[in-house]
Structure 1
């Protein structure tokens, strides 16, 4: 069998190493050739400084998954269980907030402070929704503003528990306490959970702004192109 002619063989394209790709990008800024040791040291230092900022992306992605999952479950229970418009609103809001979290979390990778700004607002609005709905449900329990279906279900629970022991008043008091604890937990979640996340994103936004000011533009360009 005759061996193939080397001159007729088409070479397989090879992706240039990171150092060459970085040099190619730098060529537009007047820097050519492979990176010097000093430039590599600058990149390493910049990546070390950037690491805690990019952790915000992982936090946003995990938060997005939790919000979407919890929102879907809440919406299903609100729609197919004891139908509640307010609970359905909460579930849908959580789903939308989760998608915003996921979308803006991806923009953090491109070093955009605006992404953190949107994440902060998203968490503040979500927290406000938790607080408002939690307080509203507590007022419903306090003043009896529940729907006829909810009142009927609570009464059936009271009747069932009273039949196995305990007075109706004691059972009603127990159910009311449980409702207050559940709705109060939602208020605390909005204040502490979403408040902490908003503060976390605010810190990361400030770090990113400081990083963009103090880091050479050519390094930022490389990082935004995912070259280093």
Structure 2
């Protein structure tokens, strides 16, 4: 059985697959370019919806001043990366929509700076601005598509971002493959951009992590 991952996996992640059962193709369908940014006017709290935003901020010259701020983020891995580097995370959620709802309900009196990528979705900023919550946004990285034509027939495809979905579909189509997604926004991008895929062929991971996506693959084919 051939499985395609639209992200290059590390040795530990590859080891999770049964090599006798799965033949794996893995390659990066996107790449990240870090952007220089000025962070002189930062609000009370910081928002991160991806590890890439955290990695970019860690390169900032003002990093120590930023560590005094309370953080809100998406995903356990993003939370761990922030805390490992001395940040204080007071709330994390599984996706941007849930985080936005939490902020609007419980933290609407605070002000926020959102560190994001150039292709970020409108979900979070729109919800906060609709509630008149003060939000400044700083673009800290750029996502560049790296589409590749896949010739081999695959049984399943692993997607880790809406950008990877877009990149894959530039040179490929989805036939009858099962698609495993890291989160709801990635799944929604798949539904929006590929009319040929059936809803029951889209599997969403329980947690927004690479390992959780792999766990879903193993469970699906072992059940």
Tell me if both proteins adopt one fold, taking TM over 0.5 as the criterion.
no
Which protein has the larger Cα radius of gyration, Structure 1 or Structure 2?
Answer: 1
Higher helix share: 1
User: Which TM-score band applies after superposition, normalised by the shorter structure?
Assistant: under 0.3
Normalising by structure 2, what TM-score? 0.24
